[in-house]
Amino acid sequence: MMLRRAALPVLLPASLMLLVACTDDPADPGAPAPTTTSASAEPATTTAAPTTTTSGEPGTTSTGLPGEPAMFGPASGDELAVIGVAHDETTAVRAVPGEDGSTVTALAPDAMGLLATGEARSLDDGTTWFEVDAPGGTGWISARDVAYLGVTDDTTAAVIGRIGRVSGSSVTEVGEAVADDLASDEPPSRIVQSGPATSGDLHEVQLDVIGLGDDSVLGYRIRVFGMDDEGPDASGEVVLRTVEQTTICARGVTSDGLCV
């Protein structure tokens, strides 16, 4: 019994060695072929998909125009007028939206009859531009410089009832007093003399009051007429005679000339 117990540990390692030797024999037809890695082999390459680039001005879209479609704007065929531009200046209709666009035509501060195409763009600088058919060509104009003109009323009695028959050294001074009466303090309105001051038997000036804090009534265009103060106690000043007031509409105008 002692002999069998001593021989068992010796035979077991030998059988294991024989099994390993048979497995590692390269002549064994069942053994897989060894894998060889060469340091000089070509590295694997990846072919990237071609990149498509769009040429054009920085900030332009696939349409070729800067900015994005605006959330609001006039409908195709709507008639607009230039507003809020000084009487000795012009406003440009441009080939593309933005101040950098080339000028198609320049419009006077009292230009009317601009037909909207229905296209509007909002730019990164916060401005909005409308495309219009204007005398001289089709192009883009700043939304700040156009609006709808509504009904015109004689508001002389109402103005005199509020501020009296004001006078000044010129009809422009009288007109500014009327404009101040119509203007809003908050938000502050923008008052622009949009027509030249003229003198004769009657003195006349046109001013635009823009920005009343109303999403329908954008402001008023006023034509103020004055006359020379006459009589034994004449001051030599120009006295208010008549006020014609046209409503400037932000979103549109009805067939009756009312803002929508």
108-150 per-position pLDDT tens digit: 999 999 999 999 999 999 999 999 999 999 999 999 999 999 9
Q: Which of 134, 119, 145, 103 is nearest to 65 (CA)?
A: 119
Q: Which of 210, 213, 91 is nearest to 147 (CA)?
A: 210
Tell me the CA end-to-end span of the chain in Å, nearest whole number.
117
Could you tell me the CA-to-CA distances from 251 to 61, 149, 212, 258 in Å, in that order? 27, 11, 14, 11
List the beta strands (DSSP E) in the chain. Answer: 68-69, 79-82, 91-94, 103-107, 114-122, 128-134, 137-142, 146-154, 167-168, 190-198, 203-210, 217-228, 238-249
What is the length of the chain? 260
Question: Which residue type does 237 have?
Answer: E
Residue 217, judged by CB atoms within 10 A of its CB (0-12, 13-18, 19+), counts as middle
CATH number of 68-146: 2.30.30
Which tops the pLDDT comparison, 54 or 144? Answer: 144
Signed CA dihedral, 27, 33, 34, 36: sign only: positive
Indicate yes or no: pTM above 0.95: no
Strand-pairing partners, residue 124, are: none
CATH 3.10.450 correct for 155-249? yes
Average pLDDT, the chain: 83
Tell me what pLDDT residue 256 has: 94
Could you give the residue range(s) of every CATH 2.30.30 domain in the chain? 68-146
Residue 175, judged by CB atoms within 10 A of its CB (0-12, 13-18, 19+), counts as buried
Could you give the residue range(s) of every CATH 3.10.450 domain in the chain? 155-249
194-251 tens-digit pLDDT:
999 999 999 999 999 999 999 999 999 999 999 999 877 888 899 999 999 999 999 9
Distance CA 3, CA 39 (A): 56
